[in-house]
């Protein structure tokens, strides 16, 4: 009798252990709470194998802010992508662990589910998942060996829990997926301009004047003055077009000799030389300095560039060559010929694209500063 009882007990205990292990190893992620995407931005898709879940986003957020991800354990993604600067870093050329200035300026991370799924200034990667591990292994950014990183993460009890809840194993793919899931939630939709579009506020006279110029392609015959900006920054609520490489263009920063490869580095086509991604202008007042190499410090300088600084090259956008506010403008020296007042008005309009809530939203902030629980 005693032996039989003992056998039952043993069986019950084994069953319990097996079930517990099964439940522990099988992630059961839950659909992201309170998630809503502004419908005016249009359709978006998330990869089928990486849906937005509470567990994935919580894990990704922690990874994004964790210096453990870098070789010397000192530098997180958030070092270069700071929330208060709309996830840029205020540097002309960012610096990572090697302290060697990078060749590109840090872009804002915002509304990444919309717009072209071509990331980096020259569009060389086609998904956030593909992008996520690159800064980690880049010797001048985070300089981390991925196998070492995986061992380091496995040694942290909290990561064991977070990974097992979100995805299962601690591996490269799941690190990339988690970082991407978090970044997809960085949605900004409450700037002064959004409120204007929703009809809840009015713009000032100067902002409204700037808005009109921003959205108009100049037409001298029709006495329509314009800044031409919308020709390229067409969906500036998001970031450019999303088909093929339509959202890449040459906005006249350099002449032929200085032209960098840009998109040509990706497609190999000579007509793509010097073409760069048209960036979102959302939160632009917070993300100085400007352009792929951070060459302009202020929006006034950006306006001077478009108004009187355009450099000629074989791939310069025809939209820029054509845009002029005076009759018989000089085609060899494209210029918008806007007045001082008009340039200032466009800058005033650009300031309405700042979303004050985005930069203080605690969902996007450093979780180490406010330990999160996702029990």
Q: Does 184 engage in binding with ligand HEC (CB under 6 A)?
A: no
Taking the complex as a whole, the smallest distance from the CB of residue 15 to ligand HEC amounts, in Å, to: 42
Q: Render the burial of 258-271: b for 16+ CB within 10 Å, e for the rest.
A: ebbebbbebbeeee
**In the set 279, 329, 334, 367, which binds ligand HEC (CB under 6 A)?**
279
Q: Does 276 engage in binding with ligand HEC (CB under 6 A)?
A: yes
**In the set 165, 192, 233, 311, which binds ligand HEC (CB under 6 A)?**
233
What is the C-alpha separation between 290 and 236, in angstroms, rounded?
A: 16
Q: Does 121 engage in binding with ligand HEC (CB under 6 A)?
A: yes
- Nearest to 277, CA basis, from 142, 108, 99, 34: 108
Q: Does 319 engage in binding with ligand HEC (CB under 6 A)?
A: yes
Q: Does 345 engage in binding with ligand HEC (CB under 6 A)?
A: no
Token code pair at residue 64: 């994004």
Of 96 and 329, which CB lies nearer to ligand HEC in the complex structure?
Answer: 96
Q: Does 120 engage in binding with ligand HEC (CB under 6 A)?
A: yes
CB contact at 8 A, 215 and 204: no
Q: How far is CA 282 from the centre of its chain?
A: 11
**In the set 58, 136, 216, 286, which binds ligand HEC (CB under 6 A)?**
136
- Nearest to 249, CA basis, from 338, 320, 187, 181: 320
Q: Does 287 engage in binding with ligand HEC (CB under 6 A)?
A: yes
Could you tell me which residues come within 8 angstroms of residue 375 by beta carbon, excluding any fewer than 6 positions away?
none
Q: Does 210 engage in binding with ligand HEC (CB under 6 A)?
A: no
Region near ligand HEC per CB under 6 A, out of 164-172, 199-207, 287-295, 351-359: 287-295
What is the C-alpha separation between 226 and 222, in angstroms, rounded?
A: 11
Q: Does 292 engage in binding with ligand HEC (CB under 6 A)?
A: yes
- Residues 35, 52, 77: CA angle, nearest 5 degrees: 100
What is the C-alpha separation between 282 and 351, in angstroms, rounded?
A: 9
What is the C-alpha separation between 138 and 134, in angstroms, rounded?
A: 6
**In the set 29, 71, 218, 227, which binds ligand HEC (CB under 6 A)?**
227
**In the set 189, 237, 320, 345, which binds ligand HEC (CB under 6 A)?**
320
What is the C-alpha separation between 313 and 311, in angstroms, rounded?
A: 7
**In the set 231, 263, 264, 329, which binds ligand HEC (CB under 6 A)?**
231
Task: Name residues contacting ligand HEC, limited to 7-66 (CB under 6 A).
Answer: none
**In the set 104, 196, 241, 368, which binds ligand HEC (CB under 6 A)?**
104
The CA-atom distances, in angstroms, between 332 and each of 98, 260, 335, 344 are 43, 21, 9, 26
Q: Does 355 engage in binding with ligand HEC (CB under 6 A)?
A: no
Token code pair at residue 306: 């478009």
Q: Does 119 engage in binding with ligand HEC (CB under 6 A)?
A: yes
**In the set 52, 57, 132, 310, which binds ligand HEC (CB under 6 A)?**
132
Taking the complex as a whole, the smallest distance from the CB of residue 49 to ligand HEC amounts, in Å, to: 18
What is the C-alpha separation between 214 and 352, in angstroms, rounded?
A: 12
**In the set 54, 83, 94, 324, which binds ligand HEC (CB under 6 A)?**
94
**In the set 58, 80, 181, 186, which binds ligand HEC (CB under 6 A)?**
80
- Nearest to 341, CA basis, from 250, 219, 206: 206
How crowded is residue 49: how many other Cβ atoms within 10 Å of its Cβ? Answer: 9
**In the complex, which residues of this chain contact ligand HEC (CB under 6 A)?**
69, 75, 77, 79-81, 94, 96, 102, 104, 106-107, 109, 119-121, 128, 131-132, 135-136, 141-142, 179, 183, 227-229, 231-233, 249, 251, 253, 276, 278-279, 281, 284, 287, 290-292, 299, 302, 306, 317, 319-320, 346
């Amino acid at each position: 009798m005693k032996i039989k009882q003992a056998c039952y007990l043993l069986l019950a205990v084994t069953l319990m252990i097996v079930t517990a292990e099964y439940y522990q190893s099988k992630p059961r992620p839950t659909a992201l709470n309170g998630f809503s995407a502004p419908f005016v931005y249009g359709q978006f898709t998330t990869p089928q194998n990486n849906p937005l879940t509470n567990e994935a986003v919580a894990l990704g957020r922690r990874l994004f802010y964790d210096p453990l991800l870098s070789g010397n354990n000192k530098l997180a993604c958030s070092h270069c992508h700071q929330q208060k600067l709309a996830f840029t870093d205020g540097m002309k050329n960012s610096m990572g662990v090697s302290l060697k200035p990078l060749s590109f300026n840090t872009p804002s991370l915002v509304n990444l589910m919309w717009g072209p799924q071509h990331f980096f200034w020259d569009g060389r990667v086609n998904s956030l998942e593909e992008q996520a591990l690159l800064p980690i292994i880049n010797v001048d950014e985070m300089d981390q060996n991925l196998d070492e990183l995986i061992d380091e993460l496995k040694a942290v009890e909290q990561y064991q829990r977070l990974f097992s809840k979100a995805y299962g194993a601690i591996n490269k793919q799941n690190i990339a997926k988690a970082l991407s899931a978090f970044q997809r939630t960085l949605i900004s939709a409450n700037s002064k301009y959004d409120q204007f579009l929703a009809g809840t506020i009015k713009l000032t006279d100067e902002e409204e004047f700037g808005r009109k110029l921003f959205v108009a392609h100049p037409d001298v015959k029709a006495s329509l003055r314009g800044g031409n900006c919308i020709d390229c920054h067409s969906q500036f609520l998001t970031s450019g077009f999303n088909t093929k490489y339509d959202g890449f263009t040459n906005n006249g920063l350099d002449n032929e000799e200085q032209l960098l490869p840009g998109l040509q580095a990706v497609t190999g086509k000579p007509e793509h030389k010097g073409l760069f991604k048209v960036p979102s202008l959302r939160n632009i007042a917070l993300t100085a300095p400007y352009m792929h190499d951070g060459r302009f410090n202020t929006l006034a300088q950006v306006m001077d560039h478009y108004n009187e600084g355009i450099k000629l090259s074989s791939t310069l956008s025809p939209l820029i060559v054509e845009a002029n506010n005076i009759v018989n403008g000089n085609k060899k020296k494209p210029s918008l010929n806007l007045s001082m007042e008009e340039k200032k008005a466009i800058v005033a309009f650009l300031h309405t694209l700042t979303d004050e809530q985005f930069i203080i939203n605690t969902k996007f902030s450093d979780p180490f500063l406010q330990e999160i629980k996702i029990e």
